[in-house]
Structure 1
Amino acid sequence: MTILSLPDGRSLEYLVDGPADGLPLVLHNGTPSAASLYPPIVTAAARHGLRVVTTSRPGYAGSTPQPGRTVASVAADVTALLDALGADRFLTVGWSGGGPHALACATLLPGRCAAAATIAGVAPYDAEGLDWSAGMGAENVEEFGAAVAGPEPLSAYLESQVPALAGVRGDQVAAALGDLVSEVDTNALTDAFADYTAGMFRAAVSSGIAGWRDDDLAFVRDWGFDLADVETPVAIWQGAQDRMVPFDHGRWLAAHVPGATVHLDEAEGHLSLVITAFDDIVADLATHR
């Protein structure tokens, strides 16, 4: 784990893994999360000549909170990190709550961001024609209902969830996620992937709820950029068996991100899609390097 000192005085925690001369693949993990890498993801990226770079967004683990941040705020942090790594260009992928952050990079860093992909990425809360919470598991409906109500109700809700994640083990993850996991995702939560997921959840709440809270608030507010302005190549990947980010989010993004390449899979879920499709996702991104 490495700490970068940002121009505004904040600290940004990050990890880099893969070939030293590889083009950076900036990975935006979901919500809640922290800088953590699943080895098969690193291996898949390396096969395509890419090194994976991931951060703990502000407020998570060793990264300084940034109250009031928007989704767009990520672009400045990614820019500072790439400058520190001496990288002029990069690819990016965002999973779940990381999806909007990948789209922010694609929109706000044209030219430098060669291509982006979202995996089960959430759509804007005010997306026209989308019933945003329809099909979500009960836990997400409650969580984002609290986010819409404001910082205080949201903080109270998240604090109540911390004990379940702070000590979670791999064999407990599926139960901890409750109504958020479909059958295909429950089946995916085994062995090393379950241990990785549990470790990421523990790290996500290791310094409190600031990162989780500010992620949720950013999702239900204006993102700070317009998807209609995307000029960077973007691929949308979404599974129909997803109770965290429902299928309609992927369909909405597919229809509203200009020029998007669309991969909608009826058989996959929120977690299983990462396991089964990540090599294909990276292979597609690498064609734009």
Structure 2
Amino acid sequence: MARAAHSRDGRELVFDTWGDPQGHPVFLLHGTPGSHQGPRPRSMVLYQLGIHLIAYDRPGYGGSTRQPGRKVIDAAEDVATIADLLDLPKFSVVGRSGGGPHALACAAKLPERVQSAAVLVSLAPWDAEGLDWFEGMTESNVREYRNARNNHEVLQSTLVQNADAMRANPMAVLNDLDDEMPETDRQIVADAGIRRMLHKNFEVAVEKTADGWIDDAVAFSKNWGFDPKEITVPTLLWHGEKDVFSPVEHFNWLARRIEHATVVLQPSAAHFAAVPVLPQVLGWLRDQAQADAAATSTA
């Protein structure tokens, strides 16, 4: 059952947990738009992996209080707040799509607590040097991020309308993107189990407002508050080469920027392939954390 933590400035952060309470703790940072109900492995799989999975609604989504003007880096403090409530001194993080930059923020700002990090189909920073940020990106995303940068009124009007449509049909956002999706993505989101998870994810995300969606778009389109090159914890970067929502050059830029990152590029995969690969990624996070713990105990 969902619970609420409270930030230092009094905001509510709604979260839930699944899997083995005694297992390795992993924060799953949801996509955009999204919620703590985002796609995740079944509890049986989590128990088999030895994973205690935690997910929360970013500010403005679901039941979490909006944080006006938030930056990507602010996610690190919110994750730490929930970890403190759960008495978790150390943990791992994984972010898919819009959760990717926020997972990177945790790895950069909380190196003494984050034992391992995984980032799936993430964007690179807006101001990434040498990156043509929009190259290979679908037109709907280009419009959204240009408006986030230059025309907040149009951004707000558009996403409020989109959120209204999603309340009537939570899958409306995917239906609108169907023409822009590669065939490999269409096959994945056609799976009945994945569709059920996405339906619940989107339903909770915009149940009250579009604020979280708006604030995500703005946060991605300004300085994140940290440089990925600061990251020193074991980090996995996973991407599908056919991704049109977070183009592959974003992955390539992050791979060059984060020293010693483990990089996995799947030539035949696209954006939504990050959903079925999650159990494998959770296993990698667990193994890296166990290696970190072993090294610390013998140091």
Q: Tell me the residue number matched to 1:196.
A: 197
Q: Once the 2 structures are TM-superposed, how far is the Cα of residue 39 of structure 1 from its aligned partner?
A: 5.0
| Equivalent residue number for residue 79 of structure 1 | 80
Count of residue correspondences: 287
Residue 53 (str. 1) matches residue 54 (str. 2): yes
1:279 corresponding residue in structure 2: 279
- 1:219-254: per-residue Cα shift (whole Å, max 9, x none)? 011101111211111110000121211111111111
Compare 160-169 and 49-58 and name the one that shifted more. Answer: 160-169
Bigger mean CA offset, 85-94 vs 239-248? 239-248
Q: Is the 8 A contact 1:106 1:232 kept in 2?
A: yes
Shift of 1:180: 4.0
Q: Which amino acid aligns with 1:210?
A: D
For the pair 1:115 / 2:116, whether they are aligned, the reply is yes
- Percent identity at matched positions? 36
**1:90 matched residue in structure 2:** 91
CA deviation vs aligned residue, 1:227-284 (integer Å, no higher than 9, x gap): 1211111110000121211111111111111211000111111112321x22221121
SS in 1 for 2:240: strand
Instruction: Specify the alignment match of 1:142 in structure 2.
Output: 143
Aligned to 2:68: 67
Aligned-pair distance for 1:149? 1.0
CA distance in 1, matches of 2:221, 2:179: 21
Aligned residue in 2 for 1:176: 176
SS in 2 for 1:198: helix
Q: Is the 8 A contact 2:39 2:275 kept in 1?
A: no
Does 1:231 find its partner at 2:244?
no
- The CA deviation at 1:177 is 2.1
Q: CA deviation at 1:196?
A: 1.2
- Residue 160 of structure 1 is matched in structure 2 by 161
1:278 maps to a residue whose letter is L
Q: Is the 8 A contact 2:20 2:46 kept in 1?
A: no
| Alpha-carbon displacement from aligned partner over 1:203-222 (angstroms, at most 9, x marks no partner) | 11111111111111110111
Q: What is the CA–CA distance in structure 2 between the aligned matches of 1:204 and 1:157, rounded to whole Å?
A: 16
- 8 Å contact from structure 1 (residues 14, 35) kept in 2: yes
CA distance in 1, matches of 2:185, 2:74: 31
Q: What one-letter code is carried by the residue in structure 1 that aligns with 2:264?
A: H
Q: Residues 258 and 58 from structure 1, CA distance in 2 versus in 1: closer, same or farther, beyond 3 angstroms?
A: same
Equivalent residues of 1:94, 1:118 under 8 A apart: yes
> How many Å apart are 1:125 and its aligned residue?
0.9
| CA distance 1:127–1:241, shift in 2 (3 Å) | same
Per the TM alignment, residue 65 of structure 1 is displaced from its structure 2 partner at its CA by 0.3
Structure 1: any 5+ residue segments left out of the alignment? none
1:174 CA displacement? 4.1
Given the two structures, how large is their TM-score scaled by the length of structure 2? Answer: 0.91
State the shift of 1:8 in Å: 1.2
CA RMSD, aligned part only? Answer: 1.6
SS at match of 2:239: strand
Residue identity in the other structure for 1:231 = T
Q: What is the CA distance between 1:47 and its match in structure 2?
A: 2.4
CA distance in 1, matches of 2:18, 2:149: 37
Q: Could you list the per-position Cα deviations for residues 36-94 of structure 1 after superposition, in whole angstroms to 9, with x for gaps in the alignment?
A: 14352544443221111000000111100000110000111111100000111101100
Relative to the length of structure 1, the TM-score reads: 0.94
2:209 and 2:182 mapped to 1: Cα distance?
28
Partner of 1:267: 268
- 1:254 corresponding residue in structure 2: 255
Q: For residue 179 of structure 1, report the CA deviation from its aligned partner.
A: 4.0
2:241 corresponds to which letter in structure 1?
A
The equivalent of 2:185 in structure 1 is 185
Contact 2:38 2:198 in 1 (8 A): no
Q: 2:295: which partner in 1?
A: none
